[in-house]
Amino acid sequence: MMLFITIFLLSFALCCLGGVFYYEQKSLITDVYSHVAFPGVVLAYVLFNSLDLYLVLFVTTTFVLLIDLIKNKLLRITKFTTDSIFAFFIAFGFSLGTLLINILQNHGVSTKAGFSDFLFGNISALSSNDSVLIISISSFILCLLYLYRRVIKNYLFDQILFSQLGFNVYFTQRILSVCTVVLCVLSLKVAGVVLTTGLFLIPFATANLFYNKIKHLFVFALLLISLVTFASIFISLNFSGLSTGPILIVLYFVVYLLSELFKFLRFKNIYG
């Protein structure tokens, strides 16, 4: 039950923030954060000789936010598109993490450090303390998003008008970035570096196929996440050797494809 609640709350919080960046047309930002978090995990181990999730969260979040400041500065002065800069940082993050592990491996460290739990995800490695941390932070972020839902809606609608109404655009962006980075770091233990983006985007994208109203969209996403989370845990518990993280993403993607097909066939039947 604890595992279900952990994955469910984390997935729903990721989905809600994924929707914000989807409307901002910055869907790749989650991929940037998760890949840049990878060397942050290695750095946490170098500094504290431990991969305790509390320490990893503090060090990696700080590291990613510093890189995020560099990214934002680069976006203001470069001639390249946002997607190009995102791709640069994705490649940089994964390469730096791999390089640091290679250096540690030469000293006989990486084989016993457990970096693969963060690289590929390993839900079975979650301790009760890890689950409590993930549940607490996910719940806090969900409450924060709910309380300030109208502010976020105005921010997404028109940032110029949002500023004219007296709100601070930069502060809002920083809060959203911090929440996203924290969830990215926590999700590494569940889905790993590569698969984290799927948790952010696929449930929201699937719900968005059927509903435009935010309230209905997130109710649908809530039900979808509940069903897929339950099915993923059931499959991983009954078939040894199958990780819950990859099962989650595969099931989400299958549901998304079926939803696209259903919508296409329905449109074809109605309009010929």
pLDDT tops 70 at residue 210: yes
Q: How far apart are CA 51 and CA 118, in angstroms?
A: 10
* pLDDT range class, residue 254, cuts 50, 70, 90: very high
Q: What integer is the mean pLDDT of 7-14?
A: 89
Q: How far apart are CA 207 and CA 224, in angstroms?
A: 8
CATH number, domain at 58? 1.10.3470.10
Domain assignment of residue 153, given as a range: 2-270
pLDDT digits (tens, 9 = 90+) for 91-114: 999 899 889 888 887 877 655 557
pLDDT value, residue 199: 84
Across 121-130, 148-157, 180-189, least confident range? 121-130
pLDDT digits (tens, 9 = 90+) for 129-156: 888 999 999 999 999 999 988 888 888 8
Backbone phi and psi for residue 204, each to the nearest 5 degrees, phi listed first: -65, -45
Q: What integer is the mean pLDDT of 77-100?
A: 88
Report which of 40, 72, 5, 65 is spatially closest to residue 229, judged by C-alpha positions.
5
Q: How far apart are CA 241 and CA 265, in angstroms?
A: 37
Q: What integer is the mean pLDDT of 233-245?
A: 79
Across 60-64, 203-207, 232-236, least confident range? 232-236
From first CA to last CA, the distance across the chain in angstroms is 47
* pLDDT range class, residue 268, cuts 50, 70, 90: low
Report the SS3 class of residue 126. coil
pLDDT tops 80 at residue 223: yes
Instruction: Provide the mean pLDDT of the chain.
Output: 85
Q: What integer is the mean pLDDT of 144-170?
A: 87
pLDDT tops 80 at residue 182: yes
Question: Do the beta carbons of residue 40 and residue 59 sit within 8 Å?
Answer: yes
Question: Which one is predicted more confidently, 180 or 264?
Answer: 180
* pLDDT range class, residue 242, cuts 50, 70, 90: confident
Q: Please name the residue that has the structure tokens 């719940």.
A: 139
pLDDT tops 60 at residue 249: yes
Amino acid at 131: S
CB atoms within 10 A of CB 259: 17
Q: What integer is the mean pLDDT of 74-97?
A: 88
DSSP 8-state code for residue 167 = -
pLDDT value, residue 109: 66
Amino acid at 174: R
Q: What integer is the mean pLDDT of 47-76?
A: 89
pLDDT value, residue 272: 55
Q: How many domains does the chain have?
A: 1
Q: How far apart are CA 172 and CA 169, in angstroms?
A: 5
pLDDT value, residue 183: 92
Q: How many angstroms separate the Cα of 167 from the Cα of each of 12, 26, 183, 254, 272?
A: 27, 21, 25, 40, 48
DSSP 8-state code for residue 125 = G
Question: Which one is predicted more confidently, 190 or 140?
Answer: 140
pLDDT tops 80 at residue 124: no
